[in-house]
Structure 1
Amino acid sequence: MKGSSQLALCVYRVEIAFFSGDLRYGAEIYEITASNWYQAELEGLARSVESVLDNERVPDVRRIATARPA
């Protein structure tokens, strides 16, 4: 008998909050299927670089990801 090596996947709602310094100026939400919340946050951050909110003219841009089960 062979064991299964596949991980169970879950759908997460990942909010990416965009900041300029300490000022939050926007957020986007992505639905991401991942094996855990950490992987979902990483995928959300990777997707956020394509956002219109990720603007090189905004000084000191940073992002914070928060994943929750959908």
Structure 2
Amino acid sequence: MRAHSSRRFTVDVAFFSGDEQYASEVHTVSATSQSDARQQALRLSADSIYDDPRIPDLHRTATVRVG
């Protein structure tokens, strides 16, 4: 069985309060797939200054850059 090799991915994480985006960050991660890269970036963004529990209806999205 061949091991999956890691690749470098750039992931844009956007922070929202309701429908309004109020911040974004870029994370570069090593992962075996785009899905893994997205999950890693979301985990990293949980430590961001923008991830503030006082912000109403806080949520994040992660978009892997292609190309």
User: Cα 1:13–1:33, aligned 2, differ >3 Å: closer, same or farther?
Assistant: same
| Rg comparison, structure with higher value | 1
Matched length: 67
Structure 1 stretches of 4+ with a deviation exceeding 4 A read none
Mapped contact 1:37–1:68 kept (Cα < 8 A) = no
Q: CA deviation at 1:69?
A: 4.8
Q: Which residue of 1 aligns with 2:23?
A: 26
SS state of the match for residue 40, structure 1?
A: helix
* Counterparts of 2:65 and 2:7, CA distance in 1: 10
Structure 2 spans left out of the alignment, 5+ residues: none
Cα deviation code 1:14-63 (max 9, x no counterpart): 11100000000000001000001000000000111100000011100000
Q: Secondary structure in 2 aligned to 1:47? A: helix
